[in-house]
Chains A and B, each alone.
Chain A
């Protein structure tokens, strides 16, 4: 099931200067901690002059779409999914 939501979320993020790999490591949402096992895709776009970075990530059997507003540096959870049909 795919669920569109709009909720602020806490994100621990890493950048490795040697491999130049960026990755959300864990998110804290609704008082629960989810460790990110895989980043499926990362893309960005501009809305007006604000750039948003979108990380499509997986933690065990849950998918999260995370959005980073580069003006405020605030994270937002936009979508969750368990990969099953509605």
Chain B
């Protein structure tokens, strides 16, 4: 990777397709309830003034309503805004139905989130038909087989980055290709922050290296890029912008975590511990379901005055039992020096290892404990989540509802398949 590197734009035919379901949650709600179509609606975490907007419909977006706004701010922009709570199983059903259609074209398919898929057509018969034709067919099939109100934006390119950029060019219902013939035209019309992965802080760093436009970015010398990024990222961006693949990597599981935004102000450990217990129950069940145990627990607390406190503890012996993880998590929480109103609490476990490598302990019967935990899990699976719960979790029935994580897709499909 010397500074003399001179790489042309990748001239291979486009083989990557990025599919993005437009205004996913809101469109699916409009699909389910035709009376909501052509109206500004949002799916919000909670239908309360301070509830966070997760997905505005296309009509709501036109009025300036964005993801992350509060419901009360959305209603200021649009007094007639219709607010819906999330219905995760509807969205999971659409995800699976879309995946089923896409698998008929290629099995090199990577779900990037609940509403995004990346497909590689290289070496598959459908490639010979032309990706634009295939994309049009996929759009038609989505309307006929999943829902007539659902639209997708499709991007086609020689690498994942350009396919993603193509899908962002026209929303909703777009179909754009970026390749060696038109990339310069596209780059000239874009600003740096429109590039997927370049935020305002990266833009500031690029500006410091005299890179102000996407064309400057593309034409930048390796030494300019090195000084802007100060890491191997300069080379990745050098390749991405030239249509070479650098993002075809899947990262392994490093941790499991659950987070909850508290609807009311709580301060004392005794008030927070039932919520913490339920978070730990959910997290540790996912940990065991995926066949892991952990050797570390981390707790993070965001207070209502926007201050933040967190602490992680590493262990010698692995944990898999919810009770053991909870005891450690509550010990960590008690170590917080603050007695302030909590806005958000998150717990995670790390240093994962497969739980078939459990070491026998001299003082603790791990095999007996594992058998008990697995029996409780089976009962909960048969009769519904949390049918057997510790007494400390009493009163948490309606707290921490089922949610879909932004972006994270690692467990989603296991979860759906297990439920089916």
* Closest A residue, CB atoms, query B402: A45
* Closest A residue, CB atoms, query B37: A83
Residues of the B chain whose Cβ atoms lie less than 8 Å from the Cβ of A85? 79-82
Partner of A63, one of B31, B33, B39, B380: B33
Docked-complex contact B419 and A48, CB < 8 angstroms: no
Given A43-B89, A85-B80, A85-B81, verify A56-B383 contact (CB < 8 Å): no
* Closest A residue, CB atoms, query B28: A41
A10 proximal to B (CB < 8 A) = no
A43-55 CB mask vs B (1 if < 8 Å, else 0) is 1111111100010
Least Cβ–Cβ distance between A29 and chain B, in angstroms: 17
Partner of A82, one of B35, B84, B384, B419: B35
Total of A-B residue pairs, C-beta within 8 Å: 64
Residues of the B chain whose Cβ atoms lie less than 8 Å from the Cβ of A56? 32-33
Residues of the B chain whose Cβ atoms lie less than 8 Å from the Cβ of A63? 33-35
A33 proximal to B (CB < 8 A) = no
Docked-complex contact A83 and B387, CB < 8 angstroms: no
Least Cβ–Cβ distance between B30 and chain A, in angstroms: 8
Partner of B39, one of A61, A65, A83: A83
Q: Which residues of B contact A (CB under 8 A)?
A: 28, 31-36, 39, 79-84, 89-90, 93, 147, 380-385, 387, 419-420
- For this complex, 7 residue pairs linking A to B, each with C-beta atoms less than 8 Å apart, are A43-B90, A44-B89, A48-B380, A48-B381, A56-B33, A58-B33, A61-B35
Q: Which residues of A contact B (CB under 8 A)?
A: 2, 38, 40-41, 43-50, 54, 56, 58, 61-63, 65, 81-86
Additional A-B contact list (16), CB under 8 Å, known A38-B34, A44-B89: A2-B82, A40-B32, A41-B28, A41-B93, A45-B89, A45-B419, A50-B384, A58-B33, A58-B35, A63-B34, A81-B33, A83-B33, A83-B82, A85-B82, A86-B82, A86-B83
